[in-house]
């Protein structure tokens, strides 16, 4: 290293060799996932201060915006105030100042007596006392000097590496590093898209002079992040479409009418539309990669069976896979119903299928005699050899994720259709599933009873029980759903086993109550379900287990207790279980919560029966959370962009990325070499982009 470190500095050098870092700090940086110099530049501030230089408490004057630094002397959470506030007294060597944060309950474990704090805000006179309300604040190390000019970035920090230290390290190398930042786009594009240069963006995000610079820097960096992600997806899609071959499966009018005759009803408009989309895909020698979305009961399975029968008509094999054995069995039963007296050979593979029996089933799959093979998602990992597998159908029910494509890649890749009952908001679909095609069934088949949903307080349960009793007397059946099998330790959450006892002993002694949960054996579960199906059990108490597709039209009541503990999508799924009959159904969501978000979520459930609408609401209320985690899409998590707030940028980046890949699929043109290098740096590990290199 030279003295100023600037001459030899590179973007991919370990952060340890930057000025002000050493082996110890490098380790702390590692905790922040900062390994190289460019990681450091992408360690974006989480906030920025533009504060005036600190003043002493004795110099405070009303209505001035000031910065104060001192030690917290005492704190108090005043929960009973309207609005409630968190109060701290800060002491510098000249006086004591009262500072309050309205609704600042979350500050209780951050701002504690003894910590050194810097606050910045407007001074107000309140009851003859000068105080600050809702100032910005920053906690600093005891021995950290408060610089004259306190403005600047605030970084995500660790116990051993404070935001001030990070700021110093970044600022030390910033000029040298940003100089090295390669540009992705030409000047004309930047101008047209209202984006600043990349090196400027990195400079401004870490060392802005004003809010405007921050905004411009953010816009550019967010755009880049979204653009790179979309480009990776576009390439992934391109590669599937151009380097993998599928067997074209054609549908003739004759095949079409033969398949339709199998269904004892007319397909809905939505089903027809989706079937057309799928048939177009199947006819190509490009592997289909399609997601079929639709509420529980909207008729997805029928569509999937249609696709399967197209493949069978083309003399190919189809695998249909479900997440659990129960569901696989249910699919099989369904299929049997439609395929009665047909010459299509089908089999169900279960875990219990062993020895000779198993061989007997596997042999005709190997020879190609068996056309449709139903099982769990483990189907593809087992010792099963297919003669000519051309289509894989995966029913994910309420879960979804990006799938490893069928790993039996020989010379051809099977077409793939994934079904999910989880409505994925369009916003998310565009990112996570950027390389999938999507078909949606919006309207369920006619003749369905409507589900009326009510959100009630536990104190109204007795009334609800009487209402339910009347329905049970009228030979209807009910589900009772709980978040847990057994009580939590302090017993404040109702649980299935205890409530099963309560309901059967105290509430509905005259009816037969059954219990179903995940810790029961497969055969016990099957037995309970059969009895419920046959109407021998009137009320089924369970955990979310019933979420996974049970078809019992006579069950028209569902009580979900501790409803605020479930996700909205999950509640909607659960409720879908009672939308299966022609008579009206009732869903009672029971919860007691003061949490505003929880309340508005449950109110949405009362208001809307549209899964997509509910999902969009949930996304707005709770953020993408799990849905957008890297586990879902296999790409690194985003560092600065947020697909909800940055929707417009996302749309723009998506369009630009797909256009780019259309023109220069492997980004081999000299103009695109920086984009390509960055993609490899970012995604090589997590995407099959390696062969772009
Ligand atoms: P999903 O897989 O989306 O949950 P299914 O395909 O299992 O939905 O269909 C749910 C129920 O609706 C089944 O009982 C099925 O027979 C029935 N069904 C499907 N399509 C139609 C239709 N077009 N008209 C009437 N009933 C239908
Ligand atoms: Mg289904």
CATH assignment at residue 117? 2.40.50.140
Q: Are residues 308 and 390 in the same domain?
A: yes
Q: CA angle, 365 as apex, 362 and 366 as ends, to 5°?
A: 90
Q: Which of 398, 420, 442 is the last residue of a domain?
A: 420
Query: Domain for residue 679, yes or no?
Result: no
Provide the H-helix boundaries in 474-567: 496-502, 522-533
Q: Ligand nearest 337 Cα, by number?
A: 1
Query: Domain for residue 207, yes or no?
Result: no
Q: Are residues 526 and 467 in the same domain?
A: yes
CATH assignment at residue 312? 3.40.50.300
Is the distance from CB of 390 to CB of 314 less than 8 angstroms? yes
- Ligand 1: atom nearest CA of 295 is 3
pLDDT for 3 equals 47
Q: Which of 150, 185, 204 is the last residue of a domain?
A: 150
Query: Domain for residue 630, yes or no?
Result: no
Please give the Cα distance from 263 to 340 (Å, whole number): 11
Q: Are residues 478 and 409 in the same domain?
A: no
- Both tokens of 136, joined, read 């910005």
Element (H, E) at 647: helix 647-663
User: Low-confidence residues of the chain, pLDDT below 70?
Assistant: 1-7, 143-150, 381-382, 397-411, 426-427, 430-435, 488-491, 545-550, 622-637, 685-693
Q: Are residues 330 and 412 in the same domain?
A: yes
Which DSSP letter does residue 444 get? P
Residues having CB within 6 Å of any atom of ligand 1 = 265-268, 271, 294, 296-302, 445
Q: Are residues 349 and 409 in the same domain?
A: yes
Which residue range is the domain that position 107 belongs to?
Answer: 51-150
Probe ligand 1: pick from 297, 303, 440, 553, max atoms within 8 Å of CB?
A: 297
Among protein residues, the one with the nearest Cα to ligand 1's atom 10 is 297
Q: Are residues 467 and 550 in the same domain?
A: yes
Query: Domain for residue 20, yes or no?
Result: no
Which DSSP letter does residue 446 get? S
Q: Which of 94, 126, 150 is the last residue of a domain?
A: 150
Ligand 2 centroid – CA 296 distance (Å): 6
Q: Are residues 261 and 354 in the same domain?
A: yes
- Ligand 1: atom nearest CA of 267 is 23
- Both tokens of 23, joined, read 């082996």
pLDDT for 406 equals 46
pTM of the model: 0.68
Please give the Cα distance from 511 to 540 (Å, whole number): 11
pLDDT for 685 equals 57
What's the mean pLDDT when you consider all of the chain? 86
Q: Are residues 404 and 497 in the same domain?
A: no
pLDDT tens figures, 630-668: 444 555 667 898 777 788 898 899 999 999 999 999 899
What is the total count of domains within the chain?
3
pLDDT for 323 equals 83
- Both tokens of 158, joined, read 């660790």
Please give the Cα distance from 654 to 643 (Å, whole number): 12
Query: Domain for residue 390, yes or no?
Result: yes
Taking each helix axis from N to C end, the angle separating 673-683 and 211-243, rounded to the nearest 10 degrees, works out to 80
- Ligand 1: atom nearest CA of 266 is 23
Three-class secondary structure of residue 183 per DSSP? coil
Please give the Cα distance from 325 to 672 (Å, whole number): 49
Q: Are residues 510 and 576 in the same domain?
A: yes
Provide the H-helix boundaries in 552-646: 568-576, 596-607, 611-622, 630-633
């Amino acid at each position: 290293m030279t003295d100023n470190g600037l001459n030899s500095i590179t973007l991919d050098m370990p952060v340890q060799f930057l000025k002000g870092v050493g082996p110890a700090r490098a380790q702390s940086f590692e905790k922040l996932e900062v390994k190289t110099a460019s990681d450091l530049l992408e360690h974006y501030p989480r906030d920025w201060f533009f504060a005036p230089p600190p003043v002493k408490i004795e110099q405070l004057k009303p209505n001035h915006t000031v910065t104060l630094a001192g030690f917290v002397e005492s704190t108090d959470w005043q929960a009973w105030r309207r609005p409630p506030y968190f109060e701290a007294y800060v002491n510098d060597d000249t006086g004591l100042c009262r500072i309050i944060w309205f609704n600042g309950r979350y500050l209780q474990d951050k701002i504690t007596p003894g910590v050194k704090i810097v606050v910045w805000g407007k001074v107000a006179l309140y009851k003859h006392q000068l105080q600050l309300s809702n100032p910005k604040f920053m906690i600093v190390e005891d021995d950290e000097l408060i610089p004259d000019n306190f403005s600047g970035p605030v970084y995500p920090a660790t116990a051993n590496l404070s935001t001030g230290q990070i700021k110093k390290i970044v600022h030390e190398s910033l000029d040298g590093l940003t100089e090295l930042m390669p540009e992705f786009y030409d000047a004309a594009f930047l101008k047209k898209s209202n984006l600043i240069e990349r090196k400027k963006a990195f400079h401004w995000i870490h060392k802005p002079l004003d809010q405007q610079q921050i905004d411009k820097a953010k816009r550019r960096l967010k755009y880049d992040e979204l653009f790179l992600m979309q480009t990776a997806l576009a390439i992934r899609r391109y590669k599937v479409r151009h380097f993998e071959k599928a067997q074209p499966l054609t549908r003739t009018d004759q095949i079409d009418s033969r398949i339709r005759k199998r269904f004892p009803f007319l397909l809905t408009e939505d089903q027809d539309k989706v079937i057309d989309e799928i048939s177009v895909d199947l006819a190509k020698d490009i592997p289909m990669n399609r997601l079929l979305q639709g509420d529980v009961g909207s008729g997805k399975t029928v569509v999937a069976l249609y696709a399967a029968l197209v493949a069978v008509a083309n003399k190919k094999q189809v695998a249909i896979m479900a997440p659990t054995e129960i569901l696989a069995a249910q699919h099989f039963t369904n299929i049997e119903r439609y395929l009665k007296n047909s010459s299509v050979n089908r089999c169900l593979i279960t875990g219990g299928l062993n020895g000779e029996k198993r061989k007997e089933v596997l042999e005709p799959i190997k020879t190609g005699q068996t056309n449709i093979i139903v099982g769990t998602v483990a189907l593809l990992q087992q010792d099963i050899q297919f003669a000519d597998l051309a289509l894989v159908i995966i029913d994910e029910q309420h879960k979804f994720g990006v799938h490893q494509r069928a790993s039996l890649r020989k010379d051809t890749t099977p077409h793939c259709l994934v079904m999910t009952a989880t409505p994925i908001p369009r916003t998310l679909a565009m990112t996570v599933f950027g390389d999938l095609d999507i078909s949606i069934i919006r309207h369920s088949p006619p003749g369905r009873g409507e589900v009326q949903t009510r959100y009630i307080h536990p104190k109204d349960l007795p009334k609800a029980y009487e209402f339910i009793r009347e329905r049970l007397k009228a030979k209807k059946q009910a589900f009772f759903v709980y978040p847990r099998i057994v009580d939590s330790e302090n017993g404040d959450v109702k649980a299935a086993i205890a409530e099963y006892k309560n309901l059967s002993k105290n509430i509905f002694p005259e009816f037969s109550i059954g219990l179903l949960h995940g810790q029961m054996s497969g055969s016990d579960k099957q037995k309970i379900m059969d009895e419920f199906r046959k109407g021998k059990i009137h009320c089924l108490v369970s955990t979310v287990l019933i979420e996974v597709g049970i078809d019992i039209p006579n069950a028209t009541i569902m009580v979900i207790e501790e409803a605020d503990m479930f996700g909205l999508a999950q509640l909607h799924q659960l409720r879908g279980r009672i939308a299966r009959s022609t008579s009206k159904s009732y869903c009672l969501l029971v919860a007691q919560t003061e949490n505003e978000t929880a309340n508005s979520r449950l109110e949405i459930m009362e208001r809307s029966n549209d899964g997509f609408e509910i999902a969009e609401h949930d996304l707005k209320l709770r953020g993408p959370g799990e849905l957008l985690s890297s586990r879902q899409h296999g790409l690194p998590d985003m560092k600065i962009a947020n697909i909800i707030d940055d929707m417009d940028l996302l749309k723009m980046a998506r369009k630009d990325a797909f256009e780019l890949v259309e023109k220069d699929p492997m980004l081999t043109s000299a103009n695109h070499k920086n984009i390509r290098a960055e993609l490899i740096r970012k995604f090589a590990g997590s995407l099959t982009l390696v062969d772009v290199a």
